[in-house]
Amino acid sequence: MRDDDTNTPAANLAVRTSANANARDAADAAHKPRRKASIRASNETHLLTCAEAVFAERGFEGASTALIAERAGLPKANLHYYFPTKLALYWRVLDDVFEEWNAAADTFDASDDPVIAIGGYVRAKMALSRRRPLGSKVWANEIISGATHMQDILLKQVKPWMESRVQLIERWIDEGLLAPLDPKTLLFMIWATTQHYADFEAQIRALAGKRALSAASFEATTEEVVKMILRASGARSPAG
């Protein structure tokens, strides 16, 4: 590993955003056509999409830059022009996935009614599993492999989020709005159950049939999951 530890996914995220902005500014300032920057942007996003699929299917070590480039319809050297190393490309994919995880996490704070907060969060996580299963699989692969490239995100972003949500859940328990339970166990159960519909797609398809993952069926399953999680947590609304 030649990269120093400032080049983490989170650090990369910041770099990327400002780098893109700088590229556009430079093009504008020189009165050059915006074309180059937009070719770059579209090639980068296309490569990221293909990389997400290959990393999901084969994990970091199993994925090859040749296969990613082939799926993107670009020569391998072109991939290395945009992303210097396979690891840099991987970190960008992890970043993108975490951004969506974060957006879903916000729905937890939509209300101080645990029925609405927990129900809404479960629905958001289920929707994410359906909309972007590949991203969830990349995340899962990374953690199964020991989460070596994600320690920073886990410790600096996910952990604080979890800890404040644990306090919120404990308050709800004190107020009698939730059954006495271990908050972390509840959160892990929500993550496990909702992400299962993305990560274990292939097993669900084999066991429950292709229809099980159709739009209508998935929506019904989502409501089943919401119902069961709410029952598991013993949630009730403050008013009632």
Partner DNA sequence: GTCTATATGCTGATAGAC
Partner DNA sequence: GTCTATCAGCATATAGAC
Q: Using CB under 7 A as the criterion, which residues of the chain lie in contact with DNA when the complex forms?
A: 23, 36-37, 39-40, 43, 63-67, 74-78, 80-81, 84-87
Q: Quick one: which of 35, 42, 43, 36 has its CA closest to 68?
A: 43
**Cα(first)–Cα(last) distance of the chain, in Å?**
57
Taking the C-alpha atoms of residue 40 and residue 94, their distance in angstroms, rounded to an integer, is 20
State which amino acid sits at residue 128: L
Residue 176 makes contact with a second copy by CB under 8 A: no
* Contact window for a second copy (CB under 8 A) among 19-27, 101-109, 120-128, 193-201: 193-201
- Asked if residues 93 and 192 have their Cβ atoms less than 8 Å apart, the reply is no
Q: How many CB atoms lie within 10 A of CB 45?
A: 11
Q: What CA–CA distance (Å, rounded) separates 68 from 80?
A: 11
Between the alpha carbon of residue 124 and those of residues 32, 67, 143, the distances in Å are 42, 32, 21
Closer of 23 and 140 to a second copy (Cβ): 140
Contact 77, 132 (CB under 8 A): no
Nearer to a second copy, 36 or 156 (CB): 156
Distance, CA of 88 to CA of 198 (rounded, Å) = 25
Residue 80's binding partner out of a second copy, DNA, none, with CB under 5 to 8 Å set by partner kind: DNA
Total interface residues for a second copy by CB under 8 A? 56
CB-based contacts of 166, cutoff 8 Å, min separation 6 = 183, 184, 187
Closest separation between CB of residue 95 and DNA, Å?
17
- The CB-of-64 to DNA minimum distance in angstroms stands at 3
Q: How far is the CB of 155 from a second copy (least distance, A)?
A: 6
Q: Is 186 in the site for a second copy (CB under 8 A)?
A: yes
Task: Give Cα 97 distance to the centre of its chain.
Answer: 3
**Cβ nearer to DNA, comparing 1 with 239:** 1
Q: Which is nearer to a second copy, 36 or 131 (CB)?
A: 131
Choice between 113 and 142, CB closer to DNA: 142
Tokens 């289920």 locate to: 126
With contact defined as beta carbons under 8 Å apart, do 38 and 46 qualify? no
75 binds, among DNA, a second copy, none (CB under 5 to 8 A by kind): DNA
Please pick, from the candidates 140, 213, 218, 219, the single residue that binds a second copy as defined by CB under 8 A: 140
Residue 185: which of a second copy, DNA, none does it interact with, CB under 5 to 8 A by kind? a second copy
Specify the residue, 17 or 214, whose C-beta has the smaller distance to DNA.
17
* Distance in angstroms (rounded) separating the CA atoms of residues 98 and 159: 13
Select the residue interacting with a second copy from 8, 65, 129, 195 (CB under 8 A).
Answer: 195
* Residues engaged in binding a second copy (CB under 8 A): 56-63, 137, 140-141, 143-147, 151, 154-155, 158-159, 162, 179, 181-182, 184-186, 188-189, 191-193, 195-197, 199-200, 202-204, 206-208, 212, 220-221, 224-225, 227-229, 231-234
